[in-house]
Amino acid sequence: MDSSITSKTVGVVAPQRAKFSEPVRLKCGAVIDQYELVYETYGRLNADRSNAVLVCHALNAAHHVAGRYADDPGDVGWWDNMIGPGKPVDTDRFFVIGMNNLGGCHGSTGPQSINPRTGKPWGADFPLVTVEDWVATQARLADHLGIKRFAAVMGGSLGAMQALQWTVSYPDRVGHALVIACTPNLSAQNIAFNEVARQAIITDPDFHGGHYYEHGTRPTRGLRVARMVGHITYLSDDVMADKFGRQLKHGRLQYTFEPEFEIESYLGYQGTKFSDYFDANTYLRITKVLDYFDPGFEHGGDLAKALAPARAAYLVISFATDWRFSSERSREIVRALLHNRREVTYADIDAPHGHDAFLLDDARYHGLVAAYFDRIHAETTA
């Protein structure tokens, strides 16, 4: 991520916590009796509560979207380059909410939380969640905050799936959806990569069928491999070639299994860093959330039919070098929305960074989002 602290940051922020005691029935059939969601907000909710923007997170991010923490100034929000005063999502105009989804490992109720029915951590017993479940619980957070309708819901990748789902689940509660680096469903290849990641975790002897908390272990080896394989799919072949190519760490071959090429060091570093802080049970569930997302499935594969209830306007953005969720997949969404006579702005940005481009600071990309939010602002203040 290319988050830079500028003078235009939202500054010091602090997470908040909302408790929900009304049970939620998940798509898998399981019921969670009570749960908590951690969130952050930036900017001010206006008098008629019309300027709220929900930011949905992707695989490994959470509620800390912008700004920094007083006790850890280096921990900058994952979309700080996008959200702040004068930034594309201008917190001088909009009230922006980031939250950690149900099942997460950043403070919201998830596998590491205590299951009130047993008094022990949920662990492997935490149910499998879906994009629909996340959107339903996000709507409860909106209720909690007194927000009837979002000016916009936005996200990239898995976050974009949530933005899209919002417009179907709650057509009257969202004005605009920003659907960035998205796909209407995962391809066989996408699922295959996720399954490799899951198998790396599940077959790690320290996983103990997901009950590793009780064993005092963590399946860090598997989680590390899982992150490494994921990371490859976030970057374009070209950007990897430009950044690392065949550069050797020590100038010449060593003929060992220690990292010899820079790309090996980089991946290993990323994998280790991730496995040190992320919870494997959450990671497993989030990969399944991705696999399961398929709004067209219950409509015979007809995405336009699935999106028919939507009333929002859309900004859809894809990145030409994204081989994980290719531009063509975004265009499937665009076509389905146009078929339904929705208002759609679509751009394919030829940034070189692959899937990760949605997190980076590309002037064309940010300019487009800024212009789109200018329009939303004009509407909400009209």
Which of 157, 236, 326, 327 is catalytic? The answer is 157
Pattern 163-202, a second copy, x by CB under 8 A? ----------------------xxxxx-xxx-xx-xxx-x
Torsion, CA 332, CA 377, CA 358, CA 165, rounded to 10? -40
3-class DSSP state for residue 367?
helix
Pick from 263, 306, 315, 357 the residue near a second copy by CB under 8 A. 263
The minimum distance between CB 104 and a second copy, in angstroms, equals 18
Interaction of residue 332 with a second copy, rule CB under 8 A: no
Cα–Cα distance, 18 to 26 (Å, whole number): 19
Interaction of residue 221 with a second copy, rule CB under 8 A: yes
Pick from 245, 273, 364, 374 the residue near a second copy by CB under 8 A. 245
Question: What contacts 277, CB < 8 A, 6 or more positions away?
Answer: none
Interaction of residue 273 with a second copy, rule CB under 8 A: no
Q: Where are the beta strands (DSSP E) in 169-244?
A: 174-180
The minimum distance between CB 251 and a second copy, in angstroms, equals 11
Q: Please, which residue, 90 or 133, has the CB nearer to a second copy?
A: 133
Cα–Cα distance, 271 to 228 (Å, whole number): 5
Torsion, CA 10, CA 12, CA 15, CA 381, rounded to 10? -30
Interaction of residue 276 with a second copy, rule CB under 8 A: no
| Contact of 130 with 293, CB cutoff 8 Å | yes
Interaction of residue 21 with a second copy, rule CB under 8 A: no
Query: Side chain identity at 15, as an amino acid letter?
Result: P
The minimum distance between CB 273 and a second copy, in angstroms, equals 14
Interaction of residue 295 with a second copy, rule CB under 8 A: no
| Contact of 176 with 313, CB cutoff 8 Å | yes
Cα–Cα distance, 37 to 376 (Å, whole number): 27
| Closest residue by Cα to residue 114 from 214, 38, 225 | 214
Which of 57, 63, 353, 355 is catalytic? The answer is 355
| Residues catalogued as catalytic | 157, 322, 355
Residues lying near a second copy in the complex (CB under 8 A) are found at: 27-29, 127-128, 185-189, 191-193, 195-196, 198-200, 202-205, 221, 224-225, 228-229, 232, 235, 237, 240-241, 243-246, 253, 255-257, 259-261, 263-264, 267-268, 271, 284, 288, 291-292, 294, 297, 323
